[in-house]
C-alpha cells in the first residue's frame, strides 16, 4: 500500500479515486465494514481506494491532554488498513490552516482538486470543517455541485450497543478482553520496535523488552498476561506492564515493557506485536526495589498460571 505524506505530495496519478475519511482508531468491525465497501466500490469502478486520515487526530490537536487515548497509533492503523486491501492512505497533517477551512473549502481542495474523488464513503456520524459544520448532508449537497457521489454506512451494533472506539476503550479499562476481541474482530494488541532501556529488569531477575507506544496516552494501564509475535517466527507467552513505573518514578509517558517467558535472546531492534489476553493487576507503587522484585515474581507466576 502507498502512503501519501500530506497534501503537497499528491501527484496527478493519485486522481481520480474512491475515498473514505475518518479517524479509524482501532480499525474495529464497524470501520472494517466501511473499508470493505470502499475496496469493493473502487474495484468495481476500476479506481484506486484511498483512506484519508489526520495526524494528529483533531481532538489531540485541540485538547492533547484530554483527548481519548488511542487504540492504535498511526503505524498500527496503516498495517491494519493494508491487510484490508486498501491501495493508498493519505495522511493529512492537521494544522491551523486545515482547522480554519470551511466544509466547502475542504471538499473543494481535498476531494475535488487534489484527489478527484468520484465516490465518497463515510460513516453515519462523520463531521468535518471549521466548527465541525460539515456532515453527510453537506457532502451530498456539495457532491451535486462538484460531481461526486456520496454513500454512508449503517452503524454496526453488538448486543444492541453501537460498535465504537469509545466502547472498546471502556472494555479495555474493565479488562474485558473477550468483549474487545468481539468488537475488533481480533485480539487487542500493541506493537513497536524494542528500544534500549535502563536494563533495571536484568538486575532484579526480570529482563524486559521496552516498546515505545507512540501515542499521547495509553488505553491500558497495569500488568497483563500476553502473547508476543515477532520472535523467530514463533508466538511466545509472557507478562507485560503498561505504565509509568511509579516505583522508579522516571517516566512522564507510559511505556510497554514485556517479559518473554522461556526466552533468553537479544530483542533490541525487533518489531514485536503484543497481544493482551488477561489483566493480572493494576500498576502499583512499591516501597522498595525488593518489594517490586517480589511482586514481579508473583506476576510471572500468575501469568504462567493463566496460560496453563
How many angstroms separate the CA atoms of 256 and 185, rounded? 23
Please state whether beta strands 161-162 and 117-123 pair in parallel, antiparallel, or not at all (unpaired): unpaired
Total count of domains within the chain: 2
**Banded model confidence at residue 276, pLDDT cuts 50, 70, 90:** very high
Between 85 and 247, the more confident residue is: 85
Mean pLDDT score of the chain, rounded to an integer?
90
pLDDT digits (tens, 9 = 90+) for 171-225: 999 999 999 999 999 999 999 999 986 655 555 557 889 998 888 889 999 999 9
Q: Which residues share a beta bridge with 19?
A: 50, 120
Tell me the three state secondary structure of residue 37.
Answer: helix
On whether residue 287 sits in a domain, the answer given is: yes
Which range marks the domain in which residue 53 is found?
A: 2-158
Question: Are 61 and 16 members of one domain?
Answer: yes
3-state secondary structure 241-258: EEECCCCCCCCCCCEEEE
Q: Are 256 and 213 in contact (CB under 8 A)?
A: yes
Question: Are 128 and 267 members of one domain?
Answer: no
Alpha carbon distances (Å) from 306 to 20, 82, 264 = 41, 33, 22
On whether residue 229 sits in a domain, the answer given is: yes
Q: Is residue 152 scored above 90 in pLDDT?
A: no
Among 138, 158, 178, identify where a domain stops. Answer: 158
Question: Are 240 and 123 members of one domain?
Answer: no
Query: CA torsion, points 235, 191, 294, 243, in degrees to nearest 10?
Result: -160
Peptide bond into 173 cis (omega under 30): no
Q: Are 104 and 144 in contact (CB under 8 A)?
A: no
Please state whether beta strands 117-123 and 49-55 pair in parallel, antiparallel, or not at all (unpaired): unpaired
Q: Are 17 and 43 in contact (CB under 8 A)?
A: no
Question: Are 9 and 146 members of one domain?
Answer: yes
How many angstroms separate the CA atoms of 181 and 183, rounded? 6
What CATH number is attached to the domain comprising 28? 3.40.50.620
Q: Angle at Cα 138 formed by Cα 162 and Cα 25, nearest 5°?
A: 35
Q: Which residues share a beta bridge with 120?
A: 19, 150
How many angstroms separate the CA atoms of 19 and 38, rounded? 7
On whether residue 220 sits in a domain, the answer given is: yes
Q: Is residue 306 scored above 70 in pLDDT?
A: yes
Tell me the three state secondary structure of residue 159.
Answer: coil
Tell me what the mean pLDDT of segment 262-270 comes to: 90
pLDDT digits (tens, 9 = 90+) for 19-66: 999 999 999 999 999 999 999 999 999 999 999 999 999 999 998 888
**pLDDT of res. 248:** 54
- How many CA atoms are closer than 13 Å to the CA of 66, on its beta-carbon side? 3
- How far, in whole angstroms, is CA 169 from its chain's centroid? 11
Amino acid at each position: 500500500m502507498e502512503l501519501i505524506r500530506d497534501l503537497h505530495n499528491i501527484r496527478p496519478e493519485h486522481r481520480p479515486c474512491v475515498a473514505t475519511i475518518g479517524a479509524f482508531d482501532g480499525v474495529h468491525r464497524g470501520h472494517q465494514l466501511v473499508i470493505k465497501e470502499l475496496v469493493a466500490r473502487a474495484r468495481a469502478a476500476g479506481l484506486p481506494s484511498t483512506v484519508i486520515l489526520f495526524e494528529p487526530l483533531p481532538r489531540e490537536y485541540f485538547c492533547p491532554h484530554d483527548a481519548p487515548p488511542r487504540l492504535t497509533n498511526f503505524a498500527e492503523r496503516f498495517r491494519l488498513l493494508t491487510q484490508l486491501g486498501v491501495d493508498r492512505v493519505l495522511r493529512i497533517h492537521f494544522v491551523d490552516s486545515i482547522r480554519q477551512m470551511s466544509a466547502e473549502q475542504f471538499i473543494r481542495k481535498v476531494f475535488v482538486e487534489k484527489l478527484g474523488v468520484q465516490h465518497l464513503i463515510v460513516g453515519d456520524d462523520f463531521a468535518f470543517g471549521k466548527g465541525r459544520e460539515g456532515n453527510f448532508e453537506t457532502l451530498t449537497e456539495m457532491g451535486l455541485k462538484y460531481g461526486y457521489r456520496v454513500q454512508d454506512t449503517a452503524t454496526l451494533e453488538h448486543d444492541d450497543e453501537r460498535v465504537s472506539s469509545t466502547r472498546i476503550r471502556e472494555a479495555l479499562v474493565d479488562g474485558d478482553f473477550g468483549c474487545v476481541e468481539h468488537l475488533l474482530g481480533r485480539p487487542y494488541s500493541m506493537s513497536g520496535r524494542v528500544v534500549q532501556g535502563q536494563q533495571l529488569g536484568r538486575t532484579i531477575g526480570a529482563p524486559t523488552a521496552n516498546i515505545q507506544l507512540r501515542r499521547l496516552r495509553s488505553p491500558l494501564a497495569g500488568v497483563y498476561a500476553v502473547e508476543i509475535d515477532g520472535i523467530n517466527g514463533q508466538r511466545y507467552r509472557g507478562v507485560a506492564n503498561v505504565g509509568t513505573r511509579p516505583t522508579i518514578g522516571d517516566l512522564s509517558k507510559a511505556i510497554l515493557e514485556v517479559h518473554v517467558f522461556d526466552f533468553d535472546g537479544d530483542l533490541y531492534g525487533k518489531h514485536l506485536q503484543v497481544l493482551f489476553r488477561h489483566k493480572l493487576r493494576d500498576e502499583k507503587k512499591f516501597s522498595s526495589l525488593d518489594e517490586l522484585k517480589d511482586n514481579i515474581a508473583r506476576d510471572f507466576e500468575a501469568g504462567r498460571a493463566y496460560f496453563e
